[in-house]
Amino acid sequence: MKVRYFDHAATTPVREEVIKEMIPYFGVEYGNASVMYSLGRNAKRAMDIARRRVSNAINCEANEIYFTSCGSESDNLAIKGFAYANKNKGNHIITSKIEHHAVLDTCKTLERKGFKVTYLNVDKKGIVDLNQLINSISKDTILISIMFANNEIGTIEPIREIGKIAKENNIVFHTDAVQAIGNVKIDVQKLNIDMLSMSGHKFYAPKGVGALYVKEGINFEKLQDGGEQEKNKRAGTENVAEIVGLGKAIELIYSEFNEYNKKLKSLRDYYISEVEKNIDGIKINGDLENRLAGNANISFKDIDGAELLFKLDEKGICASAGSACSTQNPMPSHVLTAIGLEQELANSTLRVSIGKDNSKEDVDYLVNTLKKIINENKRKIEKNKA
């Protein structure tokens, strides 16, 4: 059976061009980037190119990029690393209720270590409450961490405004941009972003490599001790091949930014309009304007999300019931709860995230399959009532 993949917010396939560029560094170019001889220098040079490609994509200096093992590590390093290094300046951090667990749980850990954290509310569309942000700021506030775009509902946050507020109040601003890379043009200078997290596998590089931007002059502590790699901020021999892959992938995705986003948006809008036409009792979650191009998050009445996923999988369709990280967890997603969705609707929600290889035919197949599953479910419910 043909697999139709609609879960690009969970992970993306690795592009051919990226694999091709990585292969030598799994094989003949196996040098350790920290050594002096030419084999090592080749690895170092390859990492320098990758670093430059990442910095070009977000408009910072190459020496402001630190490679990590994933988006989660980048979030941990930014938030804990900054908090530990600056606790003499204050102990208050502001974040939102709809962050990824890599940020939320990092903040929970810091609370256990004596930091105070404000979790900002969001409105029905998932946009953070800027008034509450302003009112939460105190002389103890050292850090604001707000995600660029939400992984479940696709809402893009008012990052420019948040950056401005942070700057005016002399507070460092971190953003988890894992979902935004490739989908939003990002200029960390114009947006006043001080720290930014990304993850390769969300933009067609492999799993297991991420990057963190930290503006020059911002002090943060390393979390992992050992060697002096990454300007002594992240110990461990570098994953050269995957760093090369991340660099190639970010350059490619921004070189085709317009076509890529146009394609995703047109398929996503087509999907939503077909669902509206063909299926009753649906609710579209998130902001329809400030939204990631490939994201559609829709609640379908009276059907259990896990059951829906299972039945879609039987037909070769991969999608998500909200957050990929909560598939083991029957509780409604914290994001859908925060936008005020009732538990029942939250538990009958399907996230479709479109990627560069999807076609209109894939979307037609998805909508037809959904229609069949939902009609069948309706008949079952009516039969049980009778």
Ligand X SMILES: *Cc1c(COP(=O)(O)O)cnc(C)c1O
DSSP string, 360-380: HHHHHHHHHHHHHHHHHHHHH
Residue written as tokens 């609370």? 111
Largest CA distance in the chain: 79
Least Cβ distance, residue 151 to ligand X (angstroms): 4
Q: Which of the ranges 164-172, 197-205, 338-346, 349-357 carries the binding residues for ligand X, by CB under 6 A?
A: 197-205
Least Cβ distance, residue 6 to ligand X (angstroms): 16
**Is position 100 an interface residue for ligand X (rule: CB under 6 A)?**
yes
Q: Which of the ranges 14-22, 198-206, 231-239, 357-365 carries the binding residues for ligand X, by CB under 6 A?
A: 198-206
DSSP H or E segment with residue 214 = strand 210-214
Least Cβ distance, residue 363 to ligand X (angstroms): 22
Closest CB to ligand X among 55 and 183?
183
Least Cβ distance, residue 140 to ligand X (angstroms): 26
| Separation of alpha carbons 222 and 81, rounded Å | 6
Helix (H, G, I), strand (E, B) or coil at 199: strand
Contact 179, 148 (CB under 8 A): yes
Q: What are φ and ψ of residue 341, in 5° steps?
A: -75, 135
The binder of ligand X chosen from 42, 199, 358, 377 (CB under 6 A): 199
Q: How many residues does the chain have?
A: 386
Least Cβ distance, residue 149 to ligand X (angstroms): 7
Token pair belonging to 4: 């139709």
Contact 67, 209 (CB under 8 A): yes
The binder of ligand X chosen from 14, 120, 122, 147 (CB under 6 A): 147
The binder of ligand X chosen from 12, 72, 155, 285 (CB under 6 A): 72
Least Cβ distance, residue 208 to ligand X (angstroms): 8
Token pair belonging to 97: 């209720």
Nearest to 202 by CA among 185, 175, 181, 187: 181
| Separation of alpha carbons 196 and 249, rounded Å | 17
Q: How far apart are the first and last CA of the chain?
A: 37
The binder of ligand X chosen from 31, 81, 154, 210 (CB under 6 A): 210
Q: Which residue is nearest to ligand X (CB)?
A: 71
Q: Which of the ranges 16-24, 199-207, 341-349, 365-373 carries the binding residues for ligand X, by CB under 6 A?
A: 199-207
The binder of ligand X chosen from 151, 192, 229, 377 (CB under 6 A): 151
Q: Which of the ranges 68-76, 248-256, 264-272, 284-292 carries the binding residues for ligand X, by CB under 6 A?
A: 68-76
Helix (H, G, I), strand (E, B) or coil at 123: coil
Q: Where are the alpha helices (DSSP H) in 199-304?
A: 229-232, 240-255, 257-278
Residues in 168-187 at the binding interface with ligand X, rule: CB under 6 A = 176, 178-179
Q: Radius of gyration (Cα) for the chain, nearest Å? A: 22
The binder of ligand X chosen from 46, 98, 102, 127 (CB under 6 A): 102
Q: Which residues are catalytic?
A: 325
**Is position 305 an interface residue for ligand X (rule: CB under 6 A)?**
no
Least Cβ distance, residue 303 to ligand X (angstroms): 25
**Is position 70 an interface residue for ligand X (rule: CB under 6 A)?**
yes
Residues in the interface with ligand X (CB under 6 A) total 14
Q: Under the rule (CB under 6 A), what is the footprint of ligand X?
A: 70-72, 100, 102, 147, 151, 176, 178-179, 199, 201-202, 210
